[in-house]
Structure 1
Amino acid sequence: MNSEFDYIIVGAGSAGCVLANRLSENENNRVLLLETGGSDKSIFIQMPTALSIPMNTDKYAWQFHTDPEPYLDNRVMHCPRGKVLGGSSSINGMVYVRGHAKDFDEWEEHGAQNWSYQDCLPYFKKAEQWYLGGDTYRGDDGPLGVNNGNEMKNPLYRAFIDAGKEAGYAFTNDYNGAQQEGFGPMHMTVKGGKRCSTARAYLDPVKHRKNLTVVTKAKAQKVVLENKVAKGVQYRVGGNVYTATATTEVILSAGPIGSPHLLQLSGIGDKSHLEGAGIECQHELPGVGQNLQDHLEFYFQFKCKQPITLNGKLGLFSKALIGARWLLFKDGLGATNHFESCGFIRSKEGVEWPDLQYHFLPAAIRYDGKSAFAGHGFQVHIGHNKPKSRGHVLAKNSDPDTAPQIQFNYLQHQEDIEGFRACVRLTREIINQSAFDDFRDEEIQPGSHIQTDEQIDAFVRQAVESAYHPSCSCKMGEDDMAVVDSQTRVHGIQGLRVVDSSIFPTVPNGNLNAPTIMVAEKAADHILGKEPLSKASAEVVGDSQWATRQRSASF
């Protein structure tokens, strides 16, 4: 196992599986893919409706926790990350959101050259197999299957969209197309009724390649450096430690927690921090582990007048029927993540593009799959998605088995607090539109008594949860705190790259699996020295009067 390869990829997750596929297309490239976890073939991973199980299972996820968050009443927050083939794409909610076009233009403004929306769109399309066929914005022959689940059969999904329209917001038929802003159907990475993780989409079809070696249960210890050149990776399988040599490059795709931690364990990071952790500094790069960002959200829950919600499907008999149908036919309620309608709006006038995101769910239920109350209900997940607050990931010592310190500093910034006040007030207005009159009953959470700024702030501090979108901890750019350049190469180290959501300069308005896959597709061309795909010239639709109004039914 002390072998030589051209490329070593650490982490078989949303980015790593993409890279393993693309880099091994050339049979002359010897590629090693290292993954700490194991097989993704569990029914709980493959069946979309079981999404709450793998992220809460030690076997499939790193069960990271933050230090007490000082602006959330010192709450300790859960931060699970994938530890299985497919990484977090095997444990996530399967929601497919690319982000707003302006999010990627923002990346370029932060120094990520040639990462504008028009640069990135061709790679989104390359990755995707959209169930309605390709067009200017959507791909039709990529590995990643994307659809709308059960086509919003439950009437509550359309009630949510109609309520958004009644409240004065636009309708968008495709928020991943020209117009993100508005209310419409939501998309998911499900294909043939099964979770379409990157393990399934990118890795399974190429496992047979003789030039691709996949080693599971392999915990990376550090990058082997010689005179600021990455020579390989030291990793452990069971009780044995091995060293694999890379003749061309080492690529870290261990995620927004794992990649900065591994860089620090390898002696790359802020010198004073490394020395304090007992790690010899090999290369000073102060931005490693800094700029950490995440999305927060809470559930706005209501009781439902009609017995049409998923709360009526939580009994053992109902679950057995759903599971049996899925096993036999790969359809029905087992074949969806249940987030089938959504909304993207702006929190206030003067915000140029959407900073609030809605996931609608025809159930009142927690992420751990437990019912919120006895009876029928529905909820909408709402969060402020362009946070100003920043945190860090820091190695505590030189032991790879010691989890790093994680601190997001959630709601440190006043604008984030105000964003969540808007979440409460705007959502309450939307749900109280006439479209919900036949369904809406008592407000469960926050509760109608929560009205003032002070009451909302106190509720939010106690109710918000991570949306599981950590990112930006090895940001791309050219400033003093950037970790990688626009080619994803680690500044100052030869033969070493980082390719995953940690290199985002800023967090996009949306879930992160889609942009992470896009980043890996684009980075693969950089790594292989290919000409980038031709820049797009797609129209982007937004409100031209954003500076003076918060909503518009049409643009």
Structure 2
Amino acid sequence: MTEWDVIIVGAGSAGCVLAGRLAEAGQGSVLVIEAGPRDLSPWVHLPIGYGKTFYHPRLNWMYRTTAQPELNGREIYQPRGKIVGGSSAINAMVYARGQAEDFDAWERLGNPGWGWTEVLAAYKRIEDHALGASDWHGAGGPLHVEDVAGEVHPLTPLFVRAAGEAGLRFNPDLNGATSEGAGFYQITTRAGRRESAARAFLHPARRRGRVKLQTDTHVTRILFDGRRAVGVEARRGGETLRFRARGEVVLSGGAFNTPQLLQLSGIGPAELLKQHGIVPLLDLPAVGRNLQDHLCYDHVYRSKLPSLNDALLSWPARIGMAANYLLRRRGPLALSVNQGGGFFRTKPELPRPDMQLYFSPLSYERAIPGVRALMKPDLFPGFSLSVSPCRPLSRGHVAIRSPNPHVAPEIAPNYLAEPEDLGELLAGARYLHRLAATPTLSAVIDSAIRPGPEAIDAEAHVADIRANAYSVFHPCRTCRMGPDPRDAVVDARLRLHGIDALRVADASIFPTIPSGNINAPAMMVGERVAALMSDA
């Protein structure tokens, strides 16, 4: 058994930030344990390469939900990074921080220190933003955030112009004073390479000898002395390993794996644990509860103008893209396919945007399950418009299926269980029709691929939503932060209710789901908990 001051379980988005910042602050010896491998695959570092990691069993947990009743009984795919860097190593790299009101609401829910003032300060500390230092951005931090407005596909500015014609003003900085409007998404890349949390935070600390990284090691349970966490047990190959913590154990496994590990270790809903023969150490009912995710819905069109499909299918174009990337680190290979988008209000009387908008200069209706769309675009020029409600009401759960830690947990998001969520998606679909009918986009659209021209009323749209809506992979809240252990798992310092020397630092602690992509908020959590632990 080896001994460390701090043990971090999971080298994901928050865990990498936490490890790097603790090492920088001189907080003793830090061990990071990751179930997956080192981030050595070239597909991880090539921005558009996430198409290759989307169904990669070595680098991806490849989870699936239970059959979802409101989505025609479909099981919804849930990729999660099983690699150093976690999901920041395999995601689409969109950097969206959420709305100020999201975090002020966190504080109002009884979580002091999590209002927008403190959260914005944390974001600015971690950022090295391409737009430079300002009231809204930091410069010189570990994480580079790129502005790709000048590099996007030629169809993307047409989308932004069309959004203006549909009543959504141009926003040159979707992470600025407001997220409202349409513009170009900022992404986490540096010099044409993916800027994962591992590359920005963990690896610099490792190179300085301040952090030990243990890969291909699956933590199977937390070790306790009474109600104090004192270490973890893990499996590596056929060997059982134990690691002891002199100070604290921090769980950074994400919204699925963190509650699973707590439940396997005897912390969670007592009845669930007993069903699987696990003696409860602490009956904490909120462990695994309150799961939320963002659901997305697409309209797909055949284009009269060339799209990214053409470039990905043409060998001369592929060679040109490869040369541009190798020589200049620019072009489509250095970008995400989620190039344009923004946020809007489905009703003018709403106090803030409730809907996220995406534009991709790519279509992949012919892609088959198990093959990421990027690698199998349609044989014609096409693009997609998508909407995703920012703050859905439906909630689900994560629960162990077995005492065997290698059995995936039950993931039940209960998408569209609340009727209001379906109503919001319908409102979003109406906006997509409005967007497609603008002078700019109608001049580009050759035909509607999905839904076809028959989807002209609410009933047809509901059927299409149930058949085709999907997750945009933002699971959170399964170990939510709050003052009351009856409906929360951690307190405002992210310490587990009822257990000493154990914290959680990942998206599972979100009290409410943020209004947008969650990778930036997850990294912000790593920054905040590092400050809290350094102040302790």
TM-score by length of 1: 0.92
* Structure 2: distance between partners of 1:165 and 1:450: 25
1:49–1:335 Cα contact (<8 Å) kept: yes
Tell me what 1:163 maps to.
Answer: 162
Residues 225-244 of structure 1 mapped to structure 2, 5 A cutoff: 225-244=224-243
Q: Deviations over 1:487-508 (max 9, x none)?
A: 0000000000000000001111
Tell me what 1:342 maps to.
Answer: 341
- Corresponding position: 1:380 with 2:385: yes
- Corresponding position: 1:420 with 2:425: yes
Q: CA deviation at 1:371?
A: 4.5
Q: 2:467 aligns with which of 459, 462, 469?
A: 462
User: 2:492 corresponds to which letter in structure 1?
Assistant: S
* Structure 2: distance between partners of 1:332 and 1:430: 27
Q: 1:122 to 1:452 in 2, by over 3 A?
A: same
Residues 61-100 of structure 1 mapped to structure 2, 5 A cutoff: 61-100=60-99
* Structure 1: distance between partners of 2:275 and 2:65: 20
Paired residue secondary structure (1:246):
strand
- Corresponding position: 1:472 with 2:477: yes
Tell me what 1:50 maps to.
Answer: 49
Question: Which stretch of structure 1 is more off in the superposition, 180-189 or 329-338?
Answer: 329-338
Paired residue secondary structure (1:82):
coil
Q: CA deviation at 1:403?
A: 0.7
1:148–1:340 Cα contact (<8 Å) kept: no
Q: 1:43 to 1:322 in 2, by over 3 A?
A: farther
Paired residue secondary structure (1:52):
helix
Tell me what 2:212 maps to.
Answer: 213
Q: CA deviation at 1:116?
A: 1.1
Tell me what 1:502 maps to.
Answer: 508
1:170–1:183 Cα contact (<8 Å) kept: yes
* Structure 2: distance between partners of 1:449 and 1:107: 43
Q: CA deviation at 1:392?
A: 0.4
* Structure 2: distance between partners of 1:215 and 1:309: 39
Q: CA deviation at 1:26?
A: 4.0
Q: CA deviation at 1:516?
A: 0.6
Q: Tell me the matched-pair count.
A: 529
* Structure 2: distance between partners of 1:411 and 1:17: 33
Q: Deviations over 1:134-158 (max 9, x none)?
A: 1000111111111133624533211
- Corresponding position: 1:393 with 2:392: no
Residues 133-152 of structure 1 mapped to structure 2, 5 A cutoff: 133-149=132-148, 151-152=150-151
Question: Which stretch of structure 1 is more off in the superposition, 204-213 or 129-138?
Answer: 204-213
* Structure 1: distance between partners of 2:471 and 2:332: 26
Residues 211-290 of structure 1 mapped to structure 2, 5 A cutoff: 211-290=210-289
* Structure 2: distance between partners of 1:82 and 1:212: 21
* Structure 2: distance between partners of 1:349 and 1:132: 30
- Corresponding position: 1:511 with 2:510: no
CA RMSD of aligned residues (A): 1.6
Q: Which structure: greater helix fraction?
A: 2
Tell me what 1:540 maps to.
Answer: none
1:291–1:472 Cα contact (<8 Å) kept: yes
Paired residue secondary structure (2:70):
coil
Q: Which runs of 5+ in 2 are unaligned?
A: 366-371
- Corresponding position: 1:481 with 2:487: yes
* Structure 2: distance between partners of 1:261 and 1:525: 26
Q: CA deviation at 1:164?
A: 1.3
Tell me what 2:535 maps to.
Answer: 529
Q: Deviations over 1:326-373 (max 9, x none)?
A: 234322221111322212011224432212111211121265325564
2:17–2:201 Cα contact (<8 Å) kept: yes
Q: 2:448 aligns with which of 435, 443, 450?
A: 443
* Structure 2: distance between partners of 1:103 and 1:52: 31
Tell me what 1:550 maps to.
Answer: none
User: 2:391 corresponds to which letter in structure 1?
Assistant: K
* Structure 1: distance between partners of 2:419 and 2:529: 35
Paired residue secondary structure (1:472):
coil
Q: Which runs of 5+ in 1 are unaligned?
A: 531-555
Residues 273-312 of structure 1 mapped to structure 2, 5 A cutoff: 273-312=272-311
2:149–2:184 Cα contact (<8 Å) kept: no
Question: Which stretch of structure 1 is more off in the superposition, 423-432 or 264-273?
Answer: 423-432
Q: CA deviation at 1:205?
A: 1.2
* Structure 2: distance between partners of 1:24 and 1:94: 25
Q: CA deviation at 1:207?
A: 1.0
Residues 109-120 of structure 1 mapped to structure 2, 5 A cutoff: 109-120=108-119
Q: CA deviation at 1:202?
A: 0.6
Paired residue secondary structure (1:303):
strand
User: 1:433 corresponds to which letter in structure 2?
Assistant: T
